[in-house]
A and B are shown apart, each in its own frame.
Chain A
Amino acid sequence: GIQVEQSPPDLILQEGANSTLRCNFSDSVNNLQWFHQNPWGQLINLFYIPSGTKQNGRLSATTVATERYSLLYISSSQTTDSGVYFCAASGGYQKVTFGTGTKLQVIP
């Protein structure tokens, strides 16, 4: 199956700083998603982005499918951005593989 690796595993930011999270995947995908798990455990959809670039407020994501990676950009970080960010990929609906996540802590 597809292997998904995320980096960095941990990240501490000062409020207002920018950051880039990376997701590498081992094979062609037709489904690539980014999620945020808040400190209360809830998983929230951020982007469905098998290719191309999308933006939503201070967050944006880019997937370069031919090079098998995706990037999540967080600009002007806020304390509410804290939590774990997961990348999930699949070559089809049946074998969705999650990375182990990037734990982000934004400090005031």
Chain B
Amino acid sequence: NAGVTQTPKFRVLKTGQSMTLLCAQDMNHEYMYWYRQDPGMGLRLIHYSVGEGTTAKGEVPDGYNVSRLKKQNFLLGLESAAPSQTSVYFCASIRERDQETQYFGPGTRLLVL
């Protein structure tokens, strides 16, 4: 198993550009999450999904959209990037609600100029 993978690992964007971050898991997990981590802070939940075709807002959803068209993939989109979205983005998944700890991907470093 590859576990949770994220694409790309690093990206530089100009303000106003758009991009999509891809998270993929091969563990048949139902629940998937997108977090952002900023210096000196813990992780903050952006959006999450409890199954294929479902998405919901987390703590800091503004400026992001997500889609879960396939169970194994969870996409995070930035329609018009802003410098405030410079961060490290982590994807995570769990098999069942409250049954297991989360498995994290390696992270995507995003710099918005």
Contact = CB atoms under 8 A, between A and B. Distances in A.
A43 B100 CA distance: 15
Interface string B20-47: 0000000000010101000011111100
Interface size grouping (class) on chain A? 20 to 34
B58 A93 contact: no
A13 to B, nearest CB: 21
B44 A98 contact: yes
Chain B interface bracket (under 10, 10 to 19, 20 to 34, 35 or more)? 20 to 34
11 contacts: A41-B107, A42-B106, A45-B104, A47-B101, A86-B42, A88-B102, A93-B50, A93-B97, A94-B48, A95-B45, A95-B58
B69 interface: no
Contacts of A50: 98
Contact of B43 (A31, A93, A94, A98): A98
A99 B90 contact: no
A42 B90 CA distance: 9
Contacts, number: 60
A45 B105 CA distance: 11
Contacts of A35: 104
A99 B98 contact: no
A93 B90 contact: no
Interface in B80-113: 88, 90, 92, 94, 97-98, 100-104, 106-107
B87 to A, nearest CB: 12
Interface in A35-58: 35, 41-45, 47-48, 50
B101 A33 contact: yes
